[in-house]
Chain A
Amino acid sequence: MMSLIKTDLVKVLKMQYLFKFKANIDVFSSLIGIQLLAVLFSFGGFYHSTHGWGMVINLQQYSANIVICFTFIWALITAITITTKPYRHYDFTFVTNRLSSSLSNILFLLTVSVLGSITAMLSSNLIKFIVYMFLDDSIVLFKQPFFDFFTGMITTSLYTFLFCSIGYLVGAFIQYHKGFSVVIPVLFMGLLIFDGMTMNSTTITGFTEFYIKESNPFYFLLKTILMSSLVLTAAISIFNHLEVER
């Protein structure tokens, strides 16, 4: 008799993870595209002006904030994209089960979050360099200590991964029932308006402040990791029941 192939989750995960880098290569080109666009928008800078003691001080601040914001949006969209049918079905052409498919997706998202964050952080140097060379040579460059860059990168990665996780869950809901593609945006906008009307940060804004206002790095780390794992566990359990309708 023909011998059957024994396999284990770790082996399959490794193959799927490597496969996803080749299969989802367009994720990287969209990252580069969106970050370059954000770099372009960053040339305006943030303008501050103060006056007093007979002086007027104009301050133009250039930073990678827009790039980071765009990276978050990219993370959300990427995560939703890889939950769509064609992307999920690649796995089922080869060896997979639903758990390994989700776990390899999550590992892939984690990796691209870190890569996207590194390039976003580095883009701040590109912005300052281009502004200094071509636009405004009165620029004063501040040295960025390596430690700041390092913490910045970790924080950005965690935020980006959180956006990925949320996107993955949103995608899972939409794959579970198409109706969620209407319900979720409506709910999101509605809650934002609700927060605005009640002048109270309870729902979406409350959730955002819960992260942004956290100044303790350890708690921040804990909060994001807990939240991501909670969201991803929910997504995995939804995908675990989905059938392949190719």
Chain B
Amino acid sequence: MKIIECRDISKMYFRQKALEQLTFSIEENKITGLIGRNGAGKTTLLKLISGFIKPTAGEIKVFSEQPFNNLFVSANSILVDDSMSFPAALNLGDIMDAAAAFYSNWHQPLAEGLLDYFSLEKYKYHNRLSKGQTSTFNMIIGLASRCPLTLFDEPTIGMDAAVRKDFYRALLKDYLAFPRTIVLSSHHLEEIEHLLEDVLLIKNGQCLLHLPIYDVKEMMISVEGKLAIADQVLQEKEIIYEQSIGTNHVHRVLLREEASVEELQGAERMGLKIRPVNASDACVYLTDKGKGVIDDVFNKN
């Protein structure tokens, strides 16, 4: 069953395109990573899915219904981000009680356990929490509400490394105990790739790829070595990314399908280093803005 279906959705903000003709669908009970550079449209997409905003064009269906102004979609989904709004008059315990009333799958033991583990006291107020604590608390609300569709938008903002690690583990454990559809947007693909089944990569408001994480890991290879040899071996091959190392060494990235196994073995014999490219770097190369590398900015001056 398809939980989210988007067909040609576009969203304009004051004549500026945030999303452009995005088409994809997400299956039930999968953890999908929503990956993209800053300003690619990740947050806009998640807000469309939760029915906070309306698409300018195209059709979006969540649980086979339009999400905007839809009680059914609202009851079955939750969007967790750092700007979740809670009344200033309620302390953390009160907020949890409210969430328990609204979300019928709410699991109080989990919420209390996590709250205790992350040393957040019930009598504290949400607006007095630090950035990392706010993210942690919001994450607890998101996990414990056990919504059939759980959306996390940059959930780890401000969390320290230990808490981030714990969060991913908690997410995975609770997902296994209570499978549901999860969309997780993040800049740190290398941190979440062990959780993900699928990756949805967007660039400039468009869907660049939607593949299982395994395929993304296998997608590219990097070649490193002397410039002359690299030029000789890689001629007529499409280079995705290139970086010079010193004056006569070079680092190039290409799609694995561009080169055959024999060619690669030959290249290695000639002294080039061939390495797989991890999923995180692959996504960075794919979403490259075509302005070269950061070094170029400094080389000009």
User: Residues of A with Cβ closer than 8 Å to B?
Assistant: 1-2, 4-9, 12, 15, 18-19, 22-26, 86, 89-90, 92-100, 240, 243-246
The interface on chain B, measured as residues whose beta carbon lies within 8 A of the other chain's beta carbons, has a size of: 36
Asked whether B83 lies within 8 Å of A246 as measured between CB atoms, the reply is yes
Set of chain B residues within 8 Å of A15, measured between Cβ atoms: 101-102
Contacts of A2 in B (CB 8 A): 28-29, 148, 178-180
Q: Residues of A contacting B102 with CB < 8 Å?
A: 15, 19, 94-95
Which segment of B87-95, B230-238, B252-260 sits at the interface?
A: B87-95
- Give every chain A residue within 8 A of B89 (Cβ-Cβ): 22-26
> Which residues B55-114 have CB closer than 8 A to chain A?
63, 69-72, 74-76, 81, 83-87, 89-90, 94, 98-99, 101-105
Does B37 reach chain A (CB closer than 8 Å)? no
Interchain residue pairs A-B with the least CB separation, the first 9: A23-B87, A89-B85, A244-B52, A94-B102, A243-B53, A7-B75, A95-B102, A97-B69, A246-B83
- CB neighbours of B52 from chain A (8 A): 92, 243-246
Taking a contact as CB atoms under 8 Å apart, the answer to whether B71 and A100 are in contact is yes
Provided the pairs A4-B63, A9-B71 are in contact, do residues A86 and B85 lie with their beta carbons within 8 angstroms? yes
> A1-B1, A1-B29, A19-B101 in contact; A243/B54 too (CB < 8 A)?
yes
Interface of B is mostly: loop
* Cross-chain contact B76 with A4 (CB below 8 angstroms): yes
Is B47's CB within 8 Å of the partner chain A?
yes
- Whether B71 lies near A1 (C-beta < 8 A) is no
Decide: A19 and B98 in contact? CB cutoff 8 A.
yes
Task: Name the residue on A nearest B81 (C-beta).
Answer: A246
B residues 203-227 with Cβ under 8 Å of A?
none
Question: Separation in Å of the A35 CB from the closest CB of chain B?
Answer: 20
Evaluate contact between A93 and B85: CB separation under 8 angstroms.
Answer: yes
Residue of A nearest to B180 (CB): A2
Instruction: List the B side residues contacting A7 at CB < 8 Å.
Output: 71-72, 75
Provide the bound-state CA to CA distance between A24 and B86, in Å.
11
CA distance A94 to B102 in the complex (A): 6
User: Do B83 and A94 have beta carbons less than 8 Å apart?
Assistant: no
Please give the distance in Å from B256's CB to the nearest CB on chain A. 36
Q: Give the CA-CA distance A122 to B63 in the complex, in Å.
A: 52
Q: Given A94-B99, A97-B69, A244-B52, do A1 and B47 touch, yes or no (CB 8 Å)? A: no
Assembly CA distance A59 to B71 (angstroms): 60
Point out the residues of chain A lying under 8 angstroms from B47, CB to CB: 244
B55 to chain A, nearest CB (A): 11
Query: Hey, which chain B residues are within 8 Å of A94, CB to CB?
Result: 98-99, 102-103
Name the A residues within 8 Å of B72 (CB-CB): 4, 6-7
Q: Chain B: which residue is nearest A241 at the CB level?
A: B54
Q: Are B74 and A96 in contact (CB under 8 A)?
A: yes
- Highest count of chain B CB atoms <10 Å: which of A1, A5, A94: A94
CA distance in complex: A90, B99 (Å): 11
| Cβ-neighbour of B75 out of A22, A86, A95, A99 (below 8 A) | A95
16 other A-B residue contacts (CB within 8 Å) besides A12-B75, A23-B90, A95-B75: A2-B179, A4-B63, A4-B72, A19-B101, A22-B90, A90-B85, A90-B87, A92-B52, A92-B85, A93-B84, A93-B85, A94-B102, A97-B70, A240-B69, A243-B52, A246-B52
A198 to B103, CA, bound (A): 58
Residues of B within 8 A of A93 (CB): 84-86
Instruction: Tell me the smallest distance from the CB of B179 to a CB of chain A, in Å.
Output: 7
Chain A residues near B105 (CB-CB < 8 A): 5
Q: 30 pairs across A/B with beta carbons < 8 Å?
A: A1-B28, A2-B148, A2-B179, A5-B148, A6-B72, A7-B75, A12-B75, A15-B102, A22-B89, A22-B94, A22-B98, A24-B87, A90-B85, A92-B52, A92-B85, A93-B84, A93-B85, A94-B98, A94-B99, A94-B103, A95-B74, A95-B75, A96-B74, A97-B70, A97-B71, A99-B69, A240-B69, A243-B52, A244-B53, A245-B53
Most buried by B among A5, A18, A98, A100: A5
Closest to A29 in B: B89
In the complex, A61→B138 CA distance in Å? Answer: 56
Nearest Cβ distance between residue B111 and chain A, in whole angstroms? Answer: 14
A5 to B81, CA, bound (A): 23
Determine the distance from Cα of A92 to Cα of B54 in the docked complex, in whole angstroms.
15
Please name all residues of chain B whose beta carbon is closer than 8 Å to the beta carbon of A4 when the two chains form the complex: 63, 72, 76, 148
- Nearest residue, chain A, Cβ from B105: A5
Cα distance A18–B86 in the bound complex, in angstroms: 15
